[in-house]
């Protein structure tokens, strides 16, 4: 597969970040206490390794069958027991502060780290895909971006269920006003 300089550099960045994510997941799995979070992390790490190997094959010129590119499923389809609607609203929670002296990560910080990695991975893969001239490489990176989005949402669901990622509600009158601001175009 031919690859332009910009594409090669983008793939280099994506692969470097993938290694970092996979290695961090190894640390997370060593410190994770919640069996439900552990199952999610194990499944996601396996997916990230498969995705990494696919990208390495592309970089090494072995090509790719895009129909076989790893895709992440989430929720019940992935074996996660919580395929529920998010809980909306704010509840009183305990204050949190940084713990620079900490030797271990708790499950909340592990989940936040995983969520942050997936959000950044989605942005990185999307930006890399936008810079690709090769359509197969662009599709691979777009698929990677979507997988990061799905894994991020799966972690969000876990955190939301635990009360660690709350979704504030907008006052109904403000929401109604915003919803009425935009109207469909007529005659097109």
CATH number (domain holding residue 123)? 1.20.1260.10
Q: Which of 146, 140, 134 is nearest to 7 (CA)?
A: 134
107 has pLDDT over 60 = yes
Mean pLDDT of 111-121: 98
How does residue 76 score in pLDDT terms, banded at 50, 70 and 90? Answer: very low
What value does the mean pLDDT of the chain take? 88
21-30, 129-138, 151-160: segment of lowest average pLDDT: 129-138
Q: Which of 90, 92, 95, 86 is nearest to 161 (CA)?
A: 86
pLDDT of residue 23: 98
In a domain, 76, yes or no: yes
In a domain, 91, yes or no: no
Number of domains observed in the structure of the chain:
1
Buried b (16+ CB within 10 A) or exposed e, 132-162: beeeebbebbbbbbebbbbbbbbbbbbbbeb
In a domain, 64, yes or no: yes
Show the domain range for 151.
5-82+104-181
Q: Which residue has the higher pLDDT, 175 or 148?
A: 148
- Helices of type H across the chain: 5-31, 35-59, 107-130, 135-162, 172-181
80 has pLDDT over 90 = no
């Amino acid at each position: 597969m031919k690859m332009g300089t910009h594409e090669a550099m983008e793939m280099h960045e994506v692969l470097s970040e993938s290694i970092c994510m996979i290695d961090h997941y190894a640390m997370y799995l060593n410190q994770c206490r919640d069996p439900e979070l552990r199952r999610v992390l194990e499944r996601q790490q396996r997916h990230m390794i498969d995705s990494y190997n696919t990208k390495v094959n592309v970089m090494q010129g072995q090509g790719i069958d895009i129909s076989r590119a790893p895709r992440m499923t989430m929720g019940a389809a992935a074996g996660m027991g919580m395929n529920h609607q998010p809980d909306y609203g704010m509840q009183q929670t305990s204050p949190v502060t940084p713990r620079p002296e900490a030797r271990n990560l708790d499950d909340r910080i592990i989940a936040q780290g995983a969520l942050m990695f997936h959000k950044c991975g989605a942005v990185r893969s999307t930006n890399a895909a936008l810079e690709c001239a090769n359509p197969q490489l662009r599709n691979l990176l777009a698929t990677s971006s979507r997988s990061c989005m799905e894994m991020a949402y799966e972690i969000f669901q876990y955190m939301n269920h635990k009360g660690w990622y709350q979704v504030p509600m907008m006052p109904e009158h403000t929401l109604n006003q915003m919803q009425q601001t935009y109207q469909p175009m007529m005659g097109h």
